[in-house]
């Protein structure tokens, strides 16, 4: 059944309509009946049928003709303002454009505002209008209720990055936040006063609500905080110890502090930076391994890769040539088998430019997505001051960084997968012509037998972690947030994959250095 929200004086009334062919005049009188029913003195109205009023659609300020049918001029869940003849503005009424009123003979009608998260509740409660005198409480309650994350806290370094990215978003000027609040956030950042932010709890739409709420809670002087000076303590005491005042939230500011993708992007930025270092190390390790296993550098000829000019492939092949071909310092190992009868090497050595190359391109792709996300306004609703409009959108949705970080995990994992196979070639005497497990007196000593097992276990774990989290979506907030990105988990598991590849890389370095 269609339902309409009607504003009369200081009340918002939900009016169901069984028949959309009823008129606007019927809607007005039905709303007036409900209004008087809720008032002890009938709201000073003796007879509803004798009341004269003007009806106006809230959105767009359109005046409604009482004889028009509802289905012709309204949409389901529309908002309507009823101005009774002789009335003045309600103290709880916020005009759509502040200060604008519309005068008509014998009455005053005011254009109403309905702005998500500023004068309304959130999620499923988006159509619950909040009185003016409770707007500050609305924002405080939002932060407190949404601080529902679980798990270990982010490290101080990661929390500081999270705070920096949120400050960057708010400073763009589309979030409806005061300079006073922004300055206090910057002061907390400079003093490294960092809130307790659990690592789990975000589904990546509507933004990273839980972790960003915990971030805001500490800035409000509630919950726990950490600083180098105080360690972990109650937030209000940590702020006091640094001569800082808690943030006092104004309308919209609670929502502005917690609505965005900064948890995903802060962890994602770290994952990208560490992945870049791993990719460079992987090329060096692979080149050393090829040298030890008496492989050939012919497969890295520039003409071969010019025929398949993927940027990453060309770059990796160039690195291999730089590492393996030197006129000034020729390799004695390479010289020892220059005229051997081996035609070509195993794929784990010969195809490094093709395998490592796509990893490099994947990292570059992810970096571009993360850089764009870091420097974007991801709030909702967005405040366009020059246009005088506040518009609800979907920039908070974390699908972009979620997909990119899932892709990053898959790409970086391949460095470990191919590296583990090269470890097998190093440890297996039938493949390497080296002592089994790279140790003398085998049997008495086990050498790198279990080091290879460790590498295999890390690769196996990564195979599970590489299942994309962003292919999952669970409807939340009573189906108002019916598609989510799961980007928080994409970022956390991408970091875990990166960590595993780093650990596996150290094992391979140790093996190569032994030789």
> Residue with structure tokens 């050498």?
447
How far apart are alpha carbons 491 and 204 in whole angstroms? 10
Measured distance CA(373)–CA(196) in Å, rounded: 24
Of 4, 96, 116, 400, which residue is the catalytic one? Answer: 116
Measured CA to CA, the distance from residue 475 to residue 171 in angstroms comes to 31
Task: Name the residue among 321, 425, 407 with its Cα closest to residue 367.
Answer: 407
DSSP 48: G
Active site residue 116: yes
How far apart, in whole angstroms, are the C-alpha atoms of residue 515 and residue 512? 5
Query: How far, in Å, CA of 380 to CA of 394, rounded?
Result: 7
- The rounded distance, in Å, linking the Cα atoms of 104 and 87 is 12
3-state secondary structure 94-115: CECCCCCCEEECCEEECCECCC
Phi then psi dihedrals of residue 430, to 5 deg: -70, -15
Half-sphere exposure of 65 (CA within 13 A, CB side): 6
Six token digits for residue 4: 């309409």
Distances (CA, A) of 435 to 220, 295, 512: 63, 18, 13
User: CB of 231 within 8 A of CB of 119?
Assistant: no
Report the catalytic residues.
116
């Amino acid at each position: 059944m269609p339902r309409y929200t009607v504003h009369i004086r200081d009340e918002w009334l939900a009016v169901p309509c069984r028949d959309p062919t009823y008129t606007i005049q019927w809607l007005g009188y039905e709303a007036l009946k409900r209004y008087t029913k809720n008032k002890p003195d009938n709201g000073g109205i003796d007879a509803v049928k004798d009341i004269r009023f003007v009806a106006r659609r809230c959105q767009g300020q359109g005046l409604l003709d009482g004889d028009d049918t509802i289905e012709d001029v309204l949409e389901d869940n529309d908002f309507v303002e009823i101005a009774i003849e002789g009335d003045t503005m309600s103290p709880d009424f916020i005009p759509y454009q502040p200060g604008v009123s519309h005068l008509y003979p014998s009455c005053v009608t005011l254009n109403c505002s309905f702005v998500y998260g500023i004068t309304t509740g959130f999620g499923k409660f988006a159509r619950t209008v909040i009185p003016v005198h409770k707007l500050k409480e609305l924002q405080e309650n939002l932060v407190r209720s949404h601080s529902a994350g679980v798990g270990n806290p982010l490290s101080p370094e990661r929390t500081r990055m999270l705070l920096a990215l949120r400050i960057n978003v708010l400073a763009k000027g589309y979030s409806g936040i005061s300079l006073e609040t922004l300055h206090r956030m910057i002061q907390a950042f400079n003093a490294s006063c960092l809130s307790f932010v659990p690592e789990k709890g975000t589904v990546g739409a509507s933004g990273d609500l839980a972790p960003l709420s915990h971030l805001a809670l500490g800035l409000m002087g509630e919950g726990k905080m950490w600083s180098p000076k105080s360690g972990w303590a109650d937030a209000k005491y940590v702020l006091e110890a640094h001569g800082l005042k808690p943030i006092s939230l104004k309308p919209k500011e609670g929502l502005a502090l917690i609505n965005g993708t900064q948890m995903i992007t802060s962890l994602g930025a770290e994952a990208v930076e560490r992945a870049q270092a791993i990719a460079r190390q992987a090329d060096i390790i692979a080149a050393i391994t090829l040298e030890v296993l008496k492989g050939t550098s012919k497969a890295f000829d520039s003409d071969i890769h010019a025929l398949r000019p993927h940027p990453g492939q060309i770059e990796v092949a160039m690195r291999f040539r730089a590492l393996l071909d030197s006129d000034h310092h020729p390799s004695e190992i390479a010289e020892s088998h220059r005229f051997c009868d081996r035609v070509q090497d195993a794929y784990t050595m010969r195809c490094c430019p093709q395998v490592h190359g796509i990893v490099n391109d994947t990292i570059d792709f992810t970096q571009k997505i993360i850089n764009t996300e870091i420097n974007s306004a991801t709030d909702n609703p967005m405040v366009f001051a020059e246009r005088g409009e506040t518009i609800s959108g979907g920039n908070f949705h974390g699908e972009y960084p979620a997909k990119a970080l899932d892709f990053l995990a898959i790409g970086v994992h391949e460095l470990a997968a191919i590296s583990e196979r090269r470890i097998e070639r190093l440890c297996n005497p039938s493949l390497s012509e080296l002592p089994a497990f790279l140790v003398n007196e085998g049997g008495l000593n086990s050498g790198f037998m279990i080091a290879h097992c460790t590498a295999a276990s890390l690769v196996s774990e990564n195979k599970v972690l590489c299942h994309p989290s962003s292919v999952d979506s669970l409807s939340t907030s009573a189906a108002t947030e019916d598609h989510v990105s799961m980007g928080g988990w994409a970022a956390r598991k991408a970091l875990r994959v990166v960590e595993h590849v780093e650990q596996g890389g150290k094992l391979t370095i140790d093996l190569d250095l032994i030789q």
